[in-house]
Amino acid sequence: MQKKIAFFLTTLLIAASLIGCNKAAVEPVAAIVEETASTQIMLQDGLGREIVLEQPAARIVSLSPSNTEILFAVGAGDQVVGRDSFSDYPEKAQTLVDVGGGYSEYNLEQIVQLEPDLVLAAEINTVELVQSIEDLGIPVFYISNPLTFDDLYKNIENVGLLTGQADAAQTVVAGIQSRVDAVVTAVAKADSTPLVFYELDATDPTKPYTAGPDTFYSTLIGMAGGKNVGDALTSSWAQISLEELVIQDPDIILLGDSLWGITPDSVGQREGWSTLTAVKEGNVLPFDDNLLARPGPRLVDGLEALAQILHPEVFQ
């Protein structure tokens, strides 16, 4: 009987020691699993897809200027190995491999050769292009154009998470928020709301293209204390007739197409435009369209520039 008891006690001791050993062995494994899981990134992109990265992207190809500018702003510039043809800001971006997309197709073979672990797409890229790249085994995160600054902040934060630059992204967002608040506070003191026509393309001066409702152009013009002529249109990007322009009679005309050589003088020489208040009063001004056309961190630069044009009196 004593032998049985002794055997039982010995068995308990061995079992206890094994449990202790197993516990010690399991804990590090659990810690490793937990550490690995913590590096995994899972985010929903602008197409509503769940994109999963096992770790922050180290080799990135950007397919739009806005994405490139966000990447550099959050400190991930050194992680970018390729960019689209139009990505020329900041200056360092111009040294990256050009994968096309300007006036030609994207070079998928070149993208593969760069061995990216992430491609950042935007609304200027087609869903078919996204699928083509994913078919090559490369993750693609699609970033939708923002309609508000809150949307922009989310895009910046997402890029920060995808690149392991979350803290830097938060700093960028905080800086933009502070500048936006300053503009909104200043513009609140204005006692007028000028009517603004923003010209995108006047290849046909009788029906120039402009930005309509549900665009960041319209959002920024409103935040800067103006009213967008294009809001009278039914689509976001459309041509407006000269007749409609004459009826609305804008106080200010901003030339987003000045980058293509359009000048205030040339606008005044267009048939039928000399009757517009903005033309008669000399309020036709060139504007750097990159500050509005690229929905990235420099949108706040665009907001500040617009506000200073529309309401210089509140910034003196």
Domain co-membership, 250 together with 132: no
Residue 255 domain-assigned (yes or no) = yes
Question: Alpha-carbon Rg of the chain, whole angstroms?
Answer: 28
Both tokens assigned to 316:
């003196």
Q: What is the pLDDT of residues 146-160, one digit of tens each?
A: 989 999 999 999 999
Domain co-membership, 143 together with 194: no
The residue assigned the tokens 């322009």 is 245
Q: Is the pLDDT of residue 107 over 70?
A: yes
Domain co-membership, 201 together with 86: no
Residue 169 domain-assigned (yes or no) = no
Residue 153 domain-assigned (yes or no) = no
Q: Is the pLDDT of residue 68 over 60?
A: yes
Q: Is the pLDDT of residue 28 over 90?
A: no
Residue 91 domain-assigned (yes or no) = yes
Using the 3D structure, point to which of 147, 181, 211 is the last residue of a domain.
147
Residue-level pLDDT at 21: 38
Confidence of residue 13 (pLDDT cuts 50, 70, 90): very low
Q: What is the pLDDT of residues 162-210, one digit of tens each?
A: 999 999 999 999 999 999 999 999 999 999 999 999 999 999 999 999 9
Using the 3D structure, point to which of 147, 165, 197 is the last residue of a domain.
147
CATH of residue 207: 3.40.50.1980
Other beta carbons within 10 Å of 123: 13
Q: Is the peptide bond before 208 cis (omega within 30 degrees of 0)?
A: no
Residue 32 domain-assigned (yes or no) = no
Lowest mean pLDDT among 2-11, 51-60, 79-88, 140-149: 2-11
Averaged pLDDT, 250-278? 96
Q: Is the pLDDT of residue 268 over 80?
A: yes
Domain co-membership, 142 together with 83: yes
Confidence of residue 3 (pLDDT cuts 50, 70, 90): very low
Entry pTM? 0.85
Q: Is the pLDDT of residue 44 over 80?
A: yes
Domain co-membership, 122 together with 210: no
Look over the chain and give the mean of its residue pLDDT values, rounded to a whole number.
89
Domain co-membership, 204 together with 126: no
Residue 152 domain-assigned (yes or no) = no
Domain co-membership, 287 together with 223: yes
- In total, how many domains does the chain have? 2
Residue-level pLDDT at 281: 97
Range of the domain at 199: 189-315
**Alpha carbons 116 and 140: distance in angstroms, whole number:** 10
Confidence of residue 38 (pLDDT cuts 50, 70, 90): low
Q: Is the pLDDT of residue 16 over 50?
A: no
Residue 176 domain-assigned (yes or no) = no
Using the 3D structure, point to which of 120, 147, 174 is the last residue of a domain.
147
Residue 7 domain-assigned (yes or no) = no
**Alpha carbons 295 and 292: distance in angstroms, whole number:** 7
Averaged pLDDT, 261-272? 96
Domain co-membership, 199 together with 301: yes
Domain co-membership, 247 together with 297: yes
Domain co-membership, 138 together with 199: no
Averaged pLDDT, 73-88? 97
